[in-house]
Amino acid sequence: MKFLAFFALAISFAGCGSSQPTPADIKASIPPPANPAMQAEVEKANKFLDQIEALPKESRGKFMAEHQAEMNRLPVSEPSIQARLLKLTR
């Protein structure tokens, strides 16, 4: 359910702003989480998101739907995860 709410938010912001930051800009501007447990969660989430990004764009939606439970466990409160999800939903 968290993913659906975030997805709706991502869609509402799609197209805002005149300039699109590059993934490197996004990553450089986001500080790492201070909590070691959260760092581990973010690393795990990044590996999962790497799997999704490796797929062709046409099959990403199906993959995310099939892995909805794991999508719901993503630490969406972390800016780096939010940025990657936003990039995936564009």
List per-residue pLDDT tens for the chain, 90 residues long: 566 666 665 655 555 555 666 766 766 666 666 677 888 898 999 999 999 999 999 999 999 999 999 999 999 888 889 999 998 877
> What SS3 string covers 53-68?
HHCCHHHHHHHHHHCH
What span, in angstroms and rounded, lies between the C-alpha atoms of 47 and 74? Answer: 11
Collapsing DSSP to helix, strand or coil, 75 comes out as coil
What span, in angstroms and rounded, lies between the C-alpha atoms of 40 and 55? Answer: 24
pTM over 0.75: no
| Amino acid of residue 69 | A
What span, in angstroms and rounded, lies between the C-alpha atoms of 8 and 1? Answer: 11
Name the token pair of 48.
């999962």
